[in-house]
Amino acid sequence: MSKPILRIFRPETDSNRDQTSAFDAAPVSELEQMWREQELDRLSGTADSKTVKIPLSKVVPLLLDAADHQRAWLDDFSDDLISMNSDLYEILLAYQQLRDRAAA
C-alpha cells in the first residue's frame, strides 16, 4: 500500500509567495482513496463510526495473502464480527456444506 500524502506548506512570506507552496505527492491507491472518503464522512458525522464499506473484491485478496503468510495481525481480529449481505452468507453456508461433504 502506498504511503499517505504528506503536504508541507511554507509560511506565507513575500520572499516565497511566488514559489510552490506544496510538494507533489505520490498518487494514492483506489482502496486508500475509498477509506479516506469514508473517514471524512465519519468525521463529518455523515457515516457510522468505525464502519468502512469496501467491495469484497478488494478485501478477499488481502485476507488470503495474510492467511497464506500467517500474519500475526490476522489473529488479532479472529473474534471480530463482520456484517455481510444475507445472500452471500447463504452462499457461504451452502459452500461450507458441500466442502464438508466432499471431505467426508
Asked if residue 2 lies in contact with residue 33, where contact means CB atoms within 8 angstroms, the answer is no
Total number of domains constituting the chain: 2
Domain boundaries, position 31? 1-54
For 18-73, the pLDDT digits (tens) are 444 444 455 668 878 877 887 777 777 776 556 778 899 999 999 999 999 999 99
Q: Judge if 2 and 50 occupy the same domain.
A: yes
Greater confidence (104 vs 63) lies with 63
Q: Judge if 48 and 61 occupy the same domain.
A: no
Write down which residue in 15, 35, 54 finishes a domain: 54
Secondary structure class of 100 (helix, strand, coil): helix
**% pLDDT > 70, the chain:** 68
Q: Residue 93: is its pLDDT beyond 90?
A: yes
User: What's the whole-model pTM score?
Assistant: 0.50
pLDDT of residue 97: 94
DSSP 72-90: HHHHHTTT------HHHHH
